[in-house]
Chain A
Amino acid sequence: MALDRRDFLKYSALAVAATTGMPGFLARAATQAGGTKTLVVIQLTGGNDGLNTLVPYSNGAYYAARPNIAVPRKDVLTLTPDLGMHPALKPLTGLWDAGHLAWLENVGYPNPNRSHFASMAIWHTADPSQARAEGWIGRIAEKIGDPFCASNLGGTTPQALRAESFSLPSIDGVDRFQVRLPAGLSDAFETMLSLPRQGEAAYLGRATRQMLANTGKMQKNVSRYRAGAKYPEGRFAERLHDAARLIASGTGQRVLYVSLGGFDTHAGQRAEQDALLGELASGLAAFQADLEAQGLAERVIVMGFSEFGRRVAENASAGTDHGQGGVMFALGRGVRGGVHGDSPDLENLEGGDVRYRQDFRGVYAGALTRWLGLNARDILGGDFAGPQWVA
């Protein structure tokens, strides 16, 4: 007789909670986590302009649509006869030359939504119908059965890391991630936590238990790391540095999640996006150098996305409004470098936007199947073909 997954979680939670006070999904973790490869997901929040990231510099329509904000041909870092990177991405040229940087062109989903929040929720849940509440990484954690197998580095947990019965951890600074209970209070604290509770109070009690387990596990390991690269200033790089520390110290996360915000460039786009892309590239280059120095570069790949690209034509404020298809990127030794997909067709737009040609779920499927060794169908709820971007 087969228990379905929900029942299993429920029963094991009850059984284990009765003996150790630990929710069931934690107890299962030790036996099932496994795996030695890590996927680092980078979220560019606000709708990164793909056309000014991977620039179609041979295309006159691009320059015609953007008299003020186009990247001049002379500034483009040439990758192919048609496409080149924004100059602020210079720190990534070494990775490109080594074949460890991939660009995925015209990525999106059916019936594009121009709301930041609806669109972001679609990327987070991998569900364009917006029917699901839990995230695609949350489903990975449920599949593996370990709520510590994926973590966000930052203050608040994105929807991508929400599971049916719990939220995955957010680690806002590895050094601050520890419990220091005042002396003499342990017993009373334990008694307080052990009271039977219902509703939101039960949720909070469970979250506190989970936090105690997570912090304990991490602090035990994290001292093993020695820095292998110098990171630039700023919160994004700090979080990548924390990601490297977690990977190097073997805390066991299969997915780590880092966000960089500010891409909603409705006005004065060049100044804003240029600075952000510089921050992105210098942070990622340091992260990759660190992994190389640690001897971990074979075990980690990075995959980056944004909720949508922006309109092809600039607006009157030297910015761009919300668009549709965008670019994704991936890097690491496990990545097949190059441009995957065709250059955007600027003669055939949809409502002024680049049409998408690759479903993002196909890109996710590559990471799930070929990198994490999971059954993508279970997590995405269907079969999605995508480019062969994982080597």
Chain B
Amino acid sequence: MPLTPHTRPLTAADAAHLLRRTAFGGTQAQTRALTGRDAREVARERLAFTDAAAPGNPFDPTDAATPGAGVQLTRAAWLFELLYGPHPLRERLALAWSNHFVIGTDKVRNVPMLASYLALLRRHAATGDFTRFALEVAQSPAMLRYLDNAQNRRGKPNENFSRELLELFTTGIGHYTEDDVREGARALTGWTYEGGRGNKNYLEETRFVFRPAQHDAGRKTYLGHGGNLTGEDVVRLAATHPQTATFVARKLHRAFVRDTPDERAVAASAETWRRTNGNVRAVLEELLGSEVFYAPENRSAVIRSPVEFIVGAVRALGQPKLEPKQILNLAQTAGKMGQLLLQPDTVKGWDGGREWINDSTLLTRMQVAAALTLGPQAPQLAEPPSLLALLGSERPPLTAALDGLGPKQRTYLALISPEFQLA
């Protein structure tokens, strides 16, 4: 059974909810523009993005004087795109994929490697072909480096990528054996990359190469299939495994519906996934136009991640211009709150939900809210943001608490409220 479509015209609160989930929030005017529209049609529109980038991005990672600076500039350039880009849903999805096909800048410090990894996530943000996406990720120098497959050679395989391919990228635990991990590693031997090795070559281009002499061409058995399997075969078998549909659909539900997803709804999305052979765009279009997406119990049910909190605040304020230094700082601050772009703590990625919340991160959220509203560097706003833009409702219960405060203080208090921490 596919998900039931949401058929009533969108109310202002519906539109605000959609924008909070797909665009990190929006202004009063952006919300109004969607009011009265059809949910499925709006979902389709929002998914029809191009590769257009935010104009005037001041950060160019190829300017970097050191590998560390290259990483920082890459991070800041991405945050700029998140803050000001014309396709926030594409960026929201790229963020979600960076938390699925995880790499980390502790090991990946080559600028072109990071750039092509990010371009890959954007190109496949709402991919029509998950298997192809998985294959391109598996052959990206960033992933080959991060999970050591670049050093996976015949005879003594390195199992790191083979294990995480199954455990984290496709089927999830419980649907493969330790033998599958070992056999997969054998099939993936010989996949490596050229260029960009060593600290000095952090600006050098890199490319995938297959080295037949290091490949184990013998017979293997993988996920119940036997033969002289290649790396391509293994990635394809994992990506098209029926459990992969459920495993990845659950992640999409966690990102877009609620932290603790309803398993029947996940199963419906997984069915659509299997029916369309891994067409993520179709799955997302159905999801973002569904009853379950708009259900009252799923409103304000996702705790905003640090990046979503920061980008959500700036977008709710109407995207005021921030100085490059402020953006660099905000990228670091997101890290202090537990979400350093392109550097999750582990290959599993950020768990999200209540994991984002503890004393230190709450304190930092308060500091960020103060810096964006009350501080000496706070952007000047043409008009204060409305409660609809900040809190997703025209008459939130919070209204009474905000009475009698000046516009900056109202905005500050709204940004540190529990309601703003949720999408």
**A interface residues, Cβ below 8 angstroms from B:** 45-46, 114-118, 152, 155-157, 167, 169-173, 176-179, 182, 184-185, 188-189, 191-192, 195-197, 199-205, 207-208, 210-211, 214-215, 261-262, 264, 266-267, 314-317, 319, 321-322, 351
How close is A17's CB to chain B, nearest CB, in angstroms? 15
How close is A152's CB to chain B, nearest CB, in angstroms? 8
Residues of chain A lying within 8 A (CB to CB) of residue B259: 200
What DSSP secondary structure best describes chain B's contact surface?
loop
| Interface check B291, CB cutoff 8 A | no
Q: Mark B352-371, 1 if CB is under 8 A from A, else 0.
A: 00110111111100100010
Which of B79-87, B205-213, B245-253, B409-417 lies at the interface with chain A? B409-417
B422 pairs with A195, CB closer than 8 A: no
Residues of chain B lying within 8 A (CB to CB) of residue A152: 358
| Interface check B397, CB cutoff 8 A | yes
Residues of chain B lying within 8 A (CB to CB) of residue A169: 358-360
| Interface check B336, CB cutoff 8 A | yes
A116 pairs with B360, CB closer than 8 A: no
**Known interface pairs A176-B360, A204-B422, A207-B357; A199-B301 also in contact (CB < 8 Å):** yes
What are 8 residue pairs bridging A and B, where the CB atoms are less than 8 Å apart in the complex?
Answer: A115-B173, A116-B347, A117-B346, A155-B360, A157-B355, A167-B358, A185-B413, A201-B422
Chain B, interface size category, equals 35 or more
| Interface check B106, CB cutoff 8 A | yes
> Measured between alpha carbons, how far is A199 from B298 in the docked complex, in Å?
10
Q: What 12 additional pairs, Cβ within 8 angstroms, besides A192-B413, A200-B354, A317-B153?
A: A155-B337, A155-B338, A156-B355, A182-B370, A188-B405, A195-B398, A201-B422, A214-B359, A264-B160, A315-B157, A316-B152, A316-B156
> Measured between alpha carbons, how far is A185 from B362 in the docked complex, in Å?
17
> Measured between alpha carbons, how far is A143 from B412 in the docked complex, in Å?
38
What 4 pairs between A and B have smallest CB-CB spacing? A316-B156, A204-B418, A317-B151, A172-B360
B366's closest neighbor in chain A, by CB?
Answer: A179
Give residues of chain B (374-423) contacting chain A, Cβ–Cβ below 8 Å: 374, 397-398, 400-402, 404-405, 409, 412-413, 416-419, 421-422
> Measured between alpha carbons, how far is A184 from B194 in the docked complex, in Å?
60
Other-chain contact of A317, B158, B398, B417 (Cβ < 8 Å): B158
A173 pairs with B360, CB closer than 8 A: yes
**Known interface pairs A157-B355, A177-B360; A201-B419 also in contact (CB < 8 Å):** yes
A192 pairs with B355, CB closer than 8 A: no
Residues of chain B lying within 8 A (CB to CB) of residue A177: 359-360, 363
> Measured between alpha carbons, how far is A161 from B105 in the docked complex, in Å?
27
